[in-house]
A and B are shown apart, each in its own frame.
Chain A
Amino acid sequence: MVFESKIVKKYFAWALDDAKEPSLRVLAEVPLFKGMGKGLLRKLLTDLIEKKYVSGDIIFHEGDSGKALYVVLDGSVRISKRSNSGDKTLAVLGPGSHFGELALVNQYARFATVTAEEDAVLLIMYKSYFDDLIRGNSAVSSRILLNLASILSDYIHCERPEEKAEKESA
């Protein structure tokens, strides 16, 4: 690609956007976007909306209908679930993690509550954007859907964190 060539990088460095490089590296680590080209990751970074959360902000509640996927660019978030013995932390996610991916498939209720553990920057992908992204773009759609299928199959084959927590408490 012309924009990736050495000549462009050498003589037109002033015109290239380096500020996005750290976020781009984080995005490349996200399992859902595994195997995607730099161009597509840049597209996501350009198109998707960023939101800063302050520590303690609730990103979504358990039971809400899911409409978006979240990618952690900076900071960390805590995933917790209500149980008889109070709220149980299922996981703490840092940069390069994503959550809420099921919202891209359907709009069933969120199964856990997500809270900003510390000040966090999240990239948010709304379902309609995802639908628009994969429509008419077979390479992108097959890659994302394969990654999504892989994540879901991992999830099915592994012991569910909340079941594990319940077993431990029992």
Chain B
Amino acid sequence: MTGGRRKEGVSISDLRRLHHQMPRWVIVLLILGLSAVVASRIPHLLMMLMAASFVSYIFSSIIRALERRGVKRSIAVVQIFVIFAIIVVSVDLFFAPSLKQEMVTAYKKLPEFSRIEGTILASVQKSVADYPVVESNIRKFLDNMFGPGGFLERNLNVPEILGQLTPFLMGIILVPFFVFFLLKDWPKILRKVMDWVPPSYVETTISVITEIDILVGKYLRGLAADCFFVGVLASLGLALIGINYPIILGIVSGVANIVPYLGPITGCLASCLVALMQFNSFDNVLNVLLLYLAIKLTDDLVIQPLMIGKSVELHPMLLVITIIVGEKLFGISGMILGVPVVTATQKTIGILLEHRREMLRRERPGILIRSHPDKLPVRPI
């Protein structure tokens, strides 16, 4: 009977298992395909989901900490939202007046942007008076940047900015909504996924989930803390050297710091521009440059090793390529999330290759995939 149930070395149970597994892979492919179509058609939705995942990851450790103390997950999530609302209101009460003042002053001084060309030229003219070629090139660059039809005018298109405002406002409402349900229902989602995974893939799936959780969680939480410290340091430093709008510039520097390499440069450039407008000389720009250099060194040598550690071990070249490709595909969110996504993919591929080797070894036990000739186990005495 047993022999009759076997067909060319494959048992009925094997075929049944294969039959049960096949549709799952088809469903996985369908889900991936559908996600890709949705992502390309509605990029804002993808951005919102990415932002929600990012925020959920940051808060998940607090939720877990509360759960460990016996608090219901749903109550813990509500607690977090209430605390966050209190913080927002407090910040609004204590910091909003000075922030508002900074923004009003900055808005009033916006026309000075048009005068910046002349300011920079006047400062540069002295130093490059003997080099007409350099002067004409700088003038051409400044015309392209600030002149009529230049980079600034092209990119500061008011109708376009207003057009971008709708998804932004939608995001303000939808991201917290997604965050709430991601935080509340994550264990249920995970349990559903695990119920769906065939037994032979359980260890591999768990290794992927655990490795990604440790790696991406550490990276995103570290990055949030890193940005906070950079923002605070930039604000304090700029206030100390007397640059206008230190809070706004600190926030810009902190947020921009999310993007590796390019972020710190953006924050520094914004502050340099304000310093140039304020003092009409390059001396204070040098102070700003030195300040940002000191912040970058502190960040690289102290903050990042402590906060992010070695969670992301991407080659610098691959890192830059990831940022560029991420920006091309998904804009700013692609630049921010490209690095953890590529690192997680790298890790996942490694684990899947190991799983494949394992399967191969199980199918052909005679083949030794990995040996430890110098590490033969010695029976303990």
Contact = CB atoms under 8 A, between A and B. Distances in A.
B67 A46 contact: yes
Contacts of A129: 210, 214
B203 interface: yes
B299 interface: no
A168 to B, nearest CB: 23
Contacts of A3: 69-71
A15 B75 contact: yes
A15 B377 CA distance: 51
Interface in B169-214: 190-191, 194-195, 197, 199-200, 202-203, 206-207, 209-211, 214
B380 interface: yes
A47 B209 CA distance: 11
A124 B202 CA distance: 9
A126 B199 contact: no
Interface stretch (B26-34, B109-117, B358-366): B358-366
A59 B72 contact: no
Contacts of B191: 50
Q: How large is the interface on B (under 10, 10 to 19, 20 to 34, 35 or more residues)?
A: 20 to 34
Given A57-B199, A65-B358, A17 B72 contact: yes
Interface of A: 1, 3-4, 14-17, 39, 42-43, 46-47, 49-53, 57-61, 63-65, 67-68, 108, 124, 126, 128-129, 132, 152, 156
A17 B67 contact: yes
Nearest to A109: B361
Interface residue SS majority, chain A: mixed
8 contacts: A1-B69, A17-B73, A39-B68, A42-B69, A126-B207, A128-B207, A129-B210, A152-B380
Contacts of B200: 58
B69 A63 contact: no
A117 to B, nearest CB: 14
A41 to B, nearest CB: 9
- Kindly list the 5 A-B residue pairs having the minimum CB-CB distance in the complex, ordered from nearest: A3-B69, A126-B210, A15-B75, A57-B199, A17-B72
B64 interface: yes
Interface in B255-284: none
Contacts of A156: 380
B194 A49 contact: yes
Interface of B: 64, 67-73, 75, 190-191, 194-195, 197, 199-200, 202-203, 206-207, 209-211, 214, 358, 361-362, 365, 377, 380
B206 A124 contact: yes
B210 A128 contact: yes
A16 B72 contact: yes
Given A49-B206, A58-B199, A126-B207, A16 B70 contact: yes
Contacts of A61: 362
Contacts of B361: 63
Contacts of B206: 49, 67-68, 124, 126
A3 B194 CA distance: 31
Nearest to A115: B199
A68 B199 CA distance: 13
Nearest to A2: B69
A16 to B, nearest CB: 5
A126 B203 CA distance: 8
B100 to A, nearest CB: 38
Contacts of A42: 67-70
Given A14-B75, A156-B380, 10 more contacts: A39-B68, A49-B206, A49-B209, A51-B195, A63-B362, A67-B207, A68-B206, A126-B207, A132-B214, A152-B380
A63 B380 CA distance: 21
A2 B207 CA distance: 35
B358 A64 contact: yes
A17 B75 CA distance: 9
Contact of A51 (B68, B70, B194, B358): B194
Nearest to A156: B380
Nearest to B209: A49
